[in-house]
Structure 1
Amino acid sequence: MSGAADGGTEGLHYPRVLLKISGEALAGEQGFGISPPVVDRLIDEIRHVHEMGVALGLVIGGGNIVRGTKASAEGMDRVSADYMGMLATVINALAIQNSLERKGVETRVLTAIRMEQLAEPYIRRRAMRHLEKGRVVIFAGGTGNPYFSTDTAAVLRGIEMNADVIIKATKVDGIYSADPNKDPNAEFIPEISYLDALSRELGVMDAAALSLCKENHIPIVVLNLDAPRAVSRVVRGERIGTLVH
């Protein structure tokens, strides 16, 4: 059996990882939907991390299809909008599962909203068993509840799977003092505490997700998904992106 089930985790700084990928990252330059070249690069990185022996869970946002908060701001009922966002994460999870399995990586999709024709319902013990067997587990459907972001879902699943770190893969190199796309004077922040990230409202994650990480002492690494072998380097202990702890 390949991957984390072999127990070959020597030399890994973080042997158990929850990787959070924004839905927007899957869209690439097209800004909407799923970009095959972007997904190919992502799949190669996930496969590489898996082959290192890392027990790997994934949470993928749905912003490339629909953002619940944006739809709500435009007049849609918030609960309906959030459920639409959760369904978008299931679409992305199935796309990533299909791509991973084409590359020979065994996966399971577990959803917080029951839809047995597509995926298994989320049951923590079942998720842990899949990880023990060396499978990449993709957690879809958010928390199954409205008013919670996929960042909060990622942290919750990370805690439940006893992850050593939450890696948030984005389109920027880490956390900045302001939006680097809008402010040329924005300063890169290589390391920050949970409390500072919360009080300065830097947009790392929403307050609920950050508070959960703080209470459970799980570090967060925010990095650029496009950086070469970014996730692999973090797993080995290299400092890349921004560390929140």
Structure 2
Amino acid sequence: MITGATGGIGRAVARAVHGTGQDVSLLDREDSRLQDLAADLAAIGSGRVTVSAGDAADQADVTAWVQQARADHGQVVGLVNVAGLWRSTAFDELDMSEVDDVITANLRTAIVCCRVVADVMLAQGFGSIVNFASTAGEYGSISPAAHYAAAKGGVIALTKSLARELTPRGVRVNAISPGPIDTAGLAAGSSATADQVASRTLLGRLGTPEEIADCVLFLLGTGSSFVTGHVLRANGGSLL
């Protein structure tokens, strides 16, 4: 189950998971974009693809999505909370409506989806949850975006806390903390050029959505079966 599935990273995650032969259930707001993605995935994997248009921050929408996924696919093996929103605004210019939007999109979505899916996974006795944090949540935002950093810091705290609560009952919870990734969202949300952002990494380039998707596959799979409560840094060395 993947939220924010039609964005740059979400699409790469969906392609990577489906490419392993797994069924995928996708949630995003725009049905037309979901249908386009489903058609794309049909050409690369043998598993089933189902989609649901809804808001990952709305418990009723998420509950309906999970119920439909269980009806269509049976067990819920993994949840990947990609849904998020990046906005760069100086703190002394920040409007509270933007604060609400950013915290809702980045933190509330993760809380709501984890809450609903945890019930299913705990009843099964197994499952893997992967949340999306950010380097901004670890050491603060380089661009003026304190509200975004606070939301992603909350995702990290959520991940570690849920690992303590859920892992003894069979559900692993981890997070990925991407550095600068070459997506449309990065280009639209920052005044810095791609070259300026890339220069902050030791590799001297932006990461790709596909590289982040590979990290997701690791955290979902058996290769990470002894890993929980971990924040996997995929940042090109921009944070050591």
Query: Which bin holds the TM-score, normalised by the shorter protein?
Result: 0.3 to 0.5
Which is richer in helix?
A: 2
User: What TM-score, normalized to structure 2?
Assistant: 0.33
